[in-house]
Amino acid sequence: MSERNAFRYITQYPARGLVYDRNGKLLVYNEAVYDLMVIPRQVKAMDTMAFCELVGITRDEFIQKMKKARAYSPYVPSAFSKQISKEEYGSIQENLYKFEGFYVQSRTLRKYEQPVAAHVLGYIGEVNQKEIDNNPYYKQGDYIGKSGLEKSYEEILRGQKGKKIVLVDVHNREKGSFQNGMYDTAAVAGYNLYSTLDTELQEYAEKLMANKRGGIVAIEPATGEVLALVSAPSYDPNLLVGRIRGTNYDILSKDMSKPLFNRALMATYPPGSIFKVAQSLIALDLGVIHPNTGFVCDRIVGCHGHPSAGTVSDAIKMSCNPYFYYTYKRIIQQGKYSNIYKDSQYGLSLWRNYMLRFGFGQQLGIDLANEKKGFIPDTSFYNKWYGREHWAFSTIYSNSIGQGEVLITPLQMANFAAIIANRGYYYIPHLVRYYGDDSVRNEKYYTKHETNIPREYFDIAVKGMYGVVHEDGGTARRARIDDIAICGKTGTSQNIGHDHSVFICFAPRENPTIAVAVYVENAKGGGGTWAAPIASLVVEKYVRGHVEREDVEKYYMETNPCQQLPIR
């Protein structure tokens, strides 16, 4: 007790690492704030009203705070009032010597240069008991990354705490360092992160989705670097900083449109007709169709009134439902077994293995928490659902056009677009290029993942996807830009309420620099009406550096096609 009255042990909090975008623009920085600390055992008789006036609290608040501090420990310092601003700090520090047992400790809070990329950057918050129990580094009052890159790269960003021992007199005034700082340890700042984001593209994509629900993911195909990742609706990341954090978090968490929910990684949707490209590649590789295979466009699963497709490329261009119904049938029922149920199990197992190669039905491994796998059904799922030898192609044919039991995330959709752009391979999508002055990088993001499907089959798919946007009969003519060769595929995903609007694309056709997925929830009119034009604006912004189609831009920024959510 004598020692505690003479010495004060002050934690030296390190500066958290800064975050930059791919072009060196600062995204996240630190701002100094102060915590008013208290050691209850050292608090003597004092003018409580004067103290409350100084700190800006009521007497009841003072009693509750002191009660909480004593419960934590009468002898160990704890935060009495947190995150005091620089302006408040001056007047408090000037008069604090009058109140024994109290002192001010500096720390930093995160600030965001622009109100964008909230779901990517994430936020920090005070550690809870579980986090303290799991890691002895953290003590009560410490802060930790709670979401986004702040969470994924916590140990890199946080730095290392230091300790300072100071002498204090009986009036609570600091008298200098103990032994000239011999026993002090300096805080070590965290490493800076250099992200893959293009801030201008991120901001632009968020404006396009500002009054909508859904997501946009843009990837550089050659590297897997994520250029933009949007979940809509979003929020200003500065809302979850400082004293206002708790109040704002409560408001955001109760919002029925779920702005805290990262749709780009966590929402699993029926992909709709974008899945037809995957069906084509699988069927070609299995040899159950060839490039010039044609099917009569009957009305077995709903025809769109176009001519029958005589080639795979034409079927993709026109998004022919019957064509892919018959294609999927040939994948699932190949005639390897006379028993139709056993034959379907064999075909479905092959089909699912291909889908896993495309990154569907599994976590891709992006450097953000809570990524969902989506769902690609297997034989055990259908055996459990229908019973063994009670299902065949006729039971599961909806998978052929991206409906049925299939579910994928917008991130997986964008990655699939990158696979096609690369003609058969991908790098795991990631949001950090490297960290620290030595440019440390995670090698798993630089490993090529092959689909092992020949390039020639991807060239057939690319031809069809080019036709989707640029040729008569294509389903995404609204996405056309005369001097940019966009290759894309529309999707209209059936849903309770209005259908979802889906589009994937990449550009240019040769040596692509961007792959994009856009998903707009409950947007009546389909993929060609909403998702495709939005994606084309993202492409134009990135490839050109500006958008020339100002009328198109204005319309899609201002219009909200999403069906209104029910009032609870």
- Of 32, 34, 43, 36, the C-alpha closest to 4 is 43
Helix (H) or strand (E) holding 191: none
Distances (CA, A) of 299 to 296, 306, 323, 404, 493: 9, 11, 10, 18, 19
Question: SS3 sequence, 2-67?
Answer: HHHHHEEEEEECCCCCCEECCCCCEEEEEEEEEEEEECHHHCCCCCHHHHHHHHCCCHHHHHHHHH
CA angle, 446 as apex, 445 and 448 as ends, to 5°?
Answer: 105
Extract the tokens encoding 486. Answer: 């966009």
Angle at 32 between CA 162 and CA 119, to 5 degrees: 95
Each residue's pLDDT tens digit, 43-100: 888 999 999 999 999 999 999 999 999 998 898 888 899 888 888 888 898 889 889 8
Nearest Cα residue to 351 out of 335, 330, 332: 332
Q: Is the pLDDT of residue 32 over 60?
A: yes
The 10 Å Cβ neighbour count of residue 250 is: 9
Residue (of 91, 86, 135) closest to 111 by Cα position: 86
Q: Is 285's pLDDT higher than 80?
A: yes
- How far is CA 558 from each of CA 128, 207, 534, rounded to the nearest angstrom? 42, 9, 12
In the chain, the domains with their CATH numbers are: 199-558 (3.40.710.10)
- Phi and psi angles of residue 76, each rounded to the nearest 5 degrees, phi first: -100, 135
Give me the mean pLDDT over the 475-487 stretch.
Answer: 96
Whole-angstrom distance, CA of residue 212 vs CA of residue 206? 10
pLDDT band per the 50, 70, 90 thresholds, residue 1: very low
Residue 318 pLDDT class (50, 70, 90 cuts): very high
**Is 90 exceeded by the pLDDT of residue 563?**
no
The residues facing 549 across adjacent strands are: none
The letter for the amino acid at 555 is Y
Residue 172 pLDDT: 60
Distance CA 123, CA 237 (A): 7
**Distances in Å between the alpha carbon of 340 and those of 325, 343, 380, 398?**
17, 5, 16, 18
Picking from 327, 328, 329, 347, the residue whose alpha carbon sits closest to that of residue 337 is 347
Cβ–Cβ under 8 Å, residues 519 and 215: yes
pLDDT band at 457 (very low <50, low <70, confident <90, very high): very high
Lowest mean pLDDT among 7-11, 173-177, 462-466, 518-522: 173-177
> Bigger pLDDT: 507 or 1?
507
d(CA 401, CA 325): 7
Q: Is the sign of the CA dihedral 311, 316, 322, 323 positive or negative?
A: positive
Percent of all residues in the chain with a pLDDT value above 70, rounded to a whole number: 98
